[in-house]
Amino acid sequence: MSTFTMLLPFGPQHPMLHEPAHFRFEVDGETVVNVTPYLNYVHRGIEKLLENRTYVQGLYVAARVCGICNPSHTNAFVAAVEEAMGIEPPPRAKYLRVVTQEIHRIQSHLILLAVAAEEMGFNSLFMLIWRDRERILRLIEAITGGRVMQSYDRIGGVYRDINDILAERVIKELSEMRNRVIQYRKVFSEDPIVRRRTVDVGVLKTAEMVRLGGVGPFARASAVDYDVRRDHRSNHVAYDEVPFNVITREECDVWARLIARVDETLECINMIEYALKHMPSGAIRYRAPRAAPKGAEGIGRVEAPRGELVHHTISDGQRPYRHRIRTPSFANVFPAAKAHIGYSIADIPMIYVSWDPCFSCLARVTLVDIRSGTAKVISGEELRREARRRWEK
C-alpha cells in the first residue's frame, strides 16, 4: 500500500489560500468506494489569537482567515461585534457592504470557473476568465485600496466611500463583463466535452446534501433553497433592500454547480448595479465604542462565496472572552467526500473542483484498491491527463 501526491492549482503554500488537506480514497479498480478527509494541517490558532486582541485589533486577524474571501470574514466579525455592542452602521455603509461583498463573490466564482475550465483542458477559456478576474481585482483595489487584503468593513461602518466617478466606472465595466459571462455560460452549457465531464457526475441528491449539512452554491446546486442573504435578515448590511434571486438547480451534479456559480455571477452584477444606483447619502461610519460590555454576545452570519459563514463572539469587557468561527468549507467537506463515491478516479478532479474548497490544495491523495491492495503513484498533472484521456475515448 503506497501513496501518491496530487497537487491542484492552488497551494499548498499559495499566498491567497490557507488550508491544505489530505483525502484518502479507497477504490475498487477504477471506482471510488470510500473517501476519508483529514483536515487542519495548518491550524493557526486564529480563534485564540482573537481572544488576545482587542476588537479593533481582531478585525485584521479575522481578515486573514482566508485570502480569497477575507471580506466575508471581516463582515461577519464586524456584524458579530456590532451586535454585541448594540450598534448599527449608517444606511450608506450597509449599501457599500453589499457592493464589496458581491464584487468579491464575483472574483471568487471566477476562480472556480477558470480552474474548472483548466481541469477540462480549456486553457484559452481559463485565460479569458482569469483576465476578467483581474479586471474585477482592479475594481476591488479602486474601491477598497487593496487587491487581496482590504479590511474594508470597520466596526460602525466602512472606512472608504465610493464617489460618483468610481460608481460609473464600476457600473460600466460590470455591464461589459455581463456580456462575457453570458458567453461563458453558453460554453459551460452547450460544449459537448464540458457536458461529458460534468453531467451526471458527482451527483449528491437534495436529501443527502441536507443530511450532511452542505451550504452555499454547492448545496443550492442540489436544490437546497437556502441563502443567508435572504433567509436571515441583518441590521448590518442592506440585503433586505437590494432585490436579488437565489440561484438553485435541480440536477445535483458537477454541471449544476458550475452553472449555479455562473448564474450567481450574473446576479451579483445586477445587485451591485442596483446598490450603486440606489445608494443613500450620508455618513459611511459611526463612532463606535472600543469594546463591548462584559458578557455581551453577538453572532455574525454572512453568505460567503462558498456558503454560510458564522462568527460568534462573547465579550469579557475589553476583548473577546471567546470567538468561534464556522467556515463554509468545513461544512461542505463531508458532502463533497460523499459526492466522489461511486465515480471513477478520472472524475476526481472535476468533482473536487466543483465544490470550490477554500483550503489551499488537496495535499495528498491515497488510492487503495480494496481487491489487490495495490496503489499507483502519479502526480496531479498525470491524473489530469489520464482523466482527459479517458473522457475523450
* 27, containing H or E segment: strand 20-28
pLDDT at 323 over 60: yes
For the stretch 61-97, pLDDT in tens is: 888 888 788 889 999 999 999 999 999 999 999 999 9
pLDDT at 1: 42
Q: Tell me what percent of the residues of the chain surpass a pLDDT of 70.
A: 84
Do the bridges between strand 20-28 and strand 361-369 make them parallel or antiparallel, or are there none, so unpaired? parallel
pLDDT at 164: 93
pLDDT at 379 over 80: no
pLDDT at 360 over 50: no
For the stretch 252-297, pLDDT in tens is: 999 999 999 999 999 999 999 999 999 999 999 999 888 889 999 9
The least confident of 32-41, 45-54, 152-161, 217-226 is 32-41
pLDDT at 393 over 50: yes
Residue 373 burial (C-beta neighbours within 10 Å; 0-12, 13-18, 19+): exposed
Three cell numbers, residue 12: 499548498
* 303, containing H or E segment: strand 297-304
pLDDT at 13: 42
CATH entry, 47-330, from 1.10.1740.10, 1.10.645.10, 1.10.3720.10, 3.90.470.10: 1.10.645.10
Residue 220 burial (C-beta neighbours within 10 Å; 0-12, 13-18, 19+): buried
pTM of the entire predicted model: 0.86
φ, ψ (nearest 5 deg) of residue 385: -65, -40
Give the whole-angstrom CA distance, residue 300 versus residue 76: 4
pLDDT at 20: 64
Three cell numbers, residue 203: 451527483
Q: In what order do the strands lie in the sheet with 31-38?
A: 31-38, 20-28, 361-369
pLDDT at 392 over 80: no
pLDDT at 376 over 90: no
For the chain, the C-alpha Rg in angstroms (whole number) is: 21
pLDDT at 11: 33
pLDDT at 372 over 80: no
Confidence of residue 12 (pLDDT cuts 50, 70, 90): very low
User: Which residues 6+ apart lie within 8 Å of 2 measured at CB?
Assistant: 375, 377
Give the whole-angstrom CA distance, residue 356 versus residue 56: 31
pLDDT at 230: 94
Give the whole-angstrom CA distance, residue 241 versus residue 256: 28
* 154, containing H or E segment: strand 153-154
The least confident of 125-134, 217-226, 371-380 is 371-380
Give the whole-angstrom CA distance, residue 335 versus residue 195: 22
pLDDT at 5 over 70: no
Contact 76, 306 (CB under 8 A): no
Mean pLDDT over the full length of the chain = 84
pLDDT at 113: 95
For the stretch 117-129, pLDDT in tens is: 988 889 999 999 9
Q: How far is CA 320 from CA 278, 293, 309, in A?
A: 36, 10, 18
Dihedral sign of CA atoms 166, 238, 242, 226 in order: positive
Q: End-to-end distance of the chain based on CA atoms, in angstroms?
A: 30
User: Which residues 6+ apart lie within 8 Å of 302 measured at CB?
Assistant: 72, 75, 76, 79, 101, 228, 308, 309, 310
Greater confidence (10 vs 100) lies with 100
- Highest mean predicted confidence (pLDDT) among 6-15, 88-97, 150-159: 88-97
Residues of the chain with CATH 1.10.645.10: 47-330
* 322, containing H or E segment: strand 320-326
Confidence of residue 37 (pLDDT cuts 50, 70, 90): confident
pLDDT at 65: 85
pLDDT at 16 over 50: no
pLDDT at 357: 80
Q: What is the 3-state secondary structure (H, E, C) of 343-392?
A: CEHHHHHHHHHHCCCCCCEEEEEEEEECCCCCCCCCCHHHHHHHHHHHHC
